[in-house]
Amino acid sequence: MSKGILVLEDGTVFEGDIFGSKEDVTGEVVFNTSLTGYQEILTDPSYYGQIVVMTYPLIGNYGTNSIDEESDKVQVSGMVVGNYEDNWSNFQGTESLDTYLRKNKITAITGIDTRALTKLIRSSGAMRGIISAKSTPTAKLIEKVRQSPQMSGLDLVKDVTTEKSYEVKSKNPKYRIAFYDYGTKKNILNEFLKFDAEVKVFNARTSAKEILDYKPDGIFLSNGPGDPAAVEYGINNAAELAVKGIPMFGICLGHQLIALALGGKTYKLKFGHRGGNHPVKNHVKNSIEITSQNHGFAVDENSLDSKNVRITHTNLYDGTNEGLSHKKYPVMSVQYHPEASPGPHDSKYLFTDFMKLVAKSK
């Protein structure tokens, strides 16, 4: 390993050792509190444009494989870990995390005090940063960071959506699901295939008319990166489709787009929610779910029309919105990830609830 540094836009510098690629990378620095699942995190398109800090101190100990990938490539801009372990052990493993990152041309840094870094992000908020293995003066690196794009106002969906539509099917499909890909995870598709479904995945800019021409029994809006308010085409399509009476389900960015389509507003969280241990209150069932989350923006509940929109879920950490449904139309959405690979699996019932709506509507 070679020496390297992580520099934040406020001038804070963390020294460490570089692994993976050796190129300078910039991105919004955020932290994830999951104990496992680093490969799922790395390949989640919702992290596009971000440098992810893993708060769990030991990373790399079970290597990597093709089974745990959530997309076809690593999506993060960079990775920060406390202690990287190259001597991995896993019966499904195929190569080290270092090798995997080098193949995907992703720069990572280890030896960082991730506890101090996480506390800084919590107090000051998520900020832009740069990982560098070069002996560039710190002042120039700070300047480069401050010239990099800010997450607010940024449409990153265009960079991660599928270019061409494609279909995946169960053995005996009964239902047709139109699936908007804003940066989806493979395990969301896998969940739908458990319900005798034919799923057609569409580019994020696909018009509402083309979706209706497919004659779907249900419409799904996926997760994705960036500022939801910047994805105007997604908001407009969701607004047009929500009133058609076809069951609609949104996850994460899809949830935010539905809220915006229903006249609501979104805002940027100070440091976001990222991890596999977030408690959420289900107001419909009067129960608590432990959820998997990855988002930096949230829906402003006060901006929603209570005559038409029902609040279904609330985050118990900070009281932010985690779910809604429409009182007239079969529309539902949640801020978190019910497919939750590697876990927890408290919220998989949401796919069942949605497919019951689909079956009833059909």
As annotated, the active-site residues are: 252, 337, 339
Contact criterion met (CB below 8 Å) for 336 and 291: yes
Residue located via tokens 């408290």:
346
Contact criterion met (CB below 8 Å) for 32 and 52: yes
Residue located via tokens 């507003």:
265
DSSP assignment, residue 64?
B
Residue located via tokens 């101190």:
57
Quote the radius of gyration of the chain (alpha carbons, Å).
Answer: 20
d(CA 143, CA 100): 30
The per-residue b/e assignment along 151-164, b for 16 or more CB within 10 angstroms, e otherwise, is beebbbbbebbbee
d(CA 268, CA 223): 16
d(CA 5, CA 7): 6
